[in-house]
Amino acid sequence: MIAVIKNSLWLMLEKVLFALAGIFISVYVARYLQPEKFGVITYLLAIVAITVPLIQLGADNVIFNRIARRESAGIRLMLMSAKLRGFLFICTSIAILLWGGIYLPAEQKWMLVLVLASSWFSIQDVYRIYYDATLCSKKNTFINNAGMMLSMLLRVILVKASMGMAWFIIPYIVSSAVPYFIRRRMFKRSHPPTMTRKRWQKRQGRYNSYMFKVGLPLAISTLSIVIFTRIDQIMLGSMVGTHAVGLYGAAISLSQGWAFVPMALLTSLMPSIARQRTWDEQRNLIRLMYLVILACSLPVVLLLGYFAEPLVLMLFGSAYAESATIIPICAVTMLFALLGTLSYRVIVVFSGYRFIAIKMPLVALINIALNYLLIPKFGLKGAAISTLLAEFCSFFVLNMFFQKGKITALQLTCFQCIPLMTRRVISHVKKYS
């Protein structure tokens, strides 16, 4: 448990720095570019993000759990999946570039190429999963922050130099490429090859079959998650324009910046759930995690709802004033998303791959339908409300149908873990006093 707490602290340090840096970068760049150009970048990032789950094949959670249980087998699966990702990336990139060549203006075509380059490094960075699963988040913290600091510095230089819109894609490449190369070098130093190239090639087909069998349902569900969290931006761009996407992106940047603490705790505690051998131990830990997310999130949601307008005017400027109207909605959506992420990972631990493969596409379809109905009538608010309702369906309503409501029951009874945790704390205090 001490190792888990230390790992959580390092993850929180990373998330704090990332959150502060992310907000600072978004504000600084958004004020310079103004909503229209900021919206173009957000729009292209959203389009490329939709392809990432198909390329990853849901492997992140599978690899994470495998490494947490059997490190050597997890490493083999991790390295094999990287080669499969490379092949799938090439296939999807060709399709995206063909679409961009037809529908995008010249400058945005080059921007799309740069966004794809950035996504290549983040997709291939399977080593990040290894260091998280082995409770070595301290290494990830330093490496990720190095990449982020370089990216921040480059953005400041670009603004000071009054560079054009396309140049602001370069920092995305830096923030993903630098951590990838550092982690890759560290891993290869500590894990020299144990098999020849021929043996790897013989096993590649077997591992690919396994990843398609186990990972494809997760890939479909993850794709659905990305669709219902990104489709609002894409549909806003198509129905209203990139100016609205810029306003929406500013609201999301501000309303999601607080989520680093619950996400850090969630990432550190998930291996503990996977290692528990009894249902009672798993149940108590899952309830505790739901409670921690609520305790960390509710105060921030209330503050963002009350101070939305002055925060937007102070940080982004009057050009983004309309963003304040949807920040309270986006903040509640982020709370639902955190609860949904925990539910998703717990379902994976319980091997509910089939359920996820059915539920998440259904949620995506619900969100697409809601966006189609609400965006033409309400614009920004319509997109925000659509995602809010989709997240609620995802984390609560549809989970009632998984194993006779097991997840929903844990959500509704999360407060039952308080007496048990209190007794354990008192016991530890008495033991060491």
Condensed to tens digits (0 to 9), the pLDDT of residues 146-186 reads 888 888 889 889 999 988 888 999 999 998 899 899 888 88
What beta strand segments (E) does 184-314 contain?
A: none
| Mean pLDDT along residues 369-373 | 93
Token readout for 205 is 């087909």
In sequence order, the 6+-apart residues with CB closer than 8 A to the CB of 54 are 88, 92, 219, 223
pLDDT at 374: 93
pLDDT at residue 29, rounded to an integer: 87
Domains in the chain: boundaries: 2-419
Count of residues in the chain: 433
The single-letter DSSP state of residue 177 is H
CB 158 within 8 Å of CB 171: yes
* Closest by CA position to 265, among listed 69, 7, 66: 7
- This prediction has a pTM of 0.76
Q: Is 225 exposed, middle or buried (0-12, 13-18, 19+ CB in 10 A)?
A: buried
- At 139, the pLDDT band (50, 70, 90 cuts) reads confident
Instruction: Lowest mean pLDDT of 13-17, 121-125, 377-381, name the range.
Output: 13-17
pLDDT over 80 at 250, yes or no? yes
pLDDT per position as a tens digit, 13-59: 655 666 666 677 778 888 898 889 999 998 999 888 888 877 877 66
3-state secondary structure of 102: helix
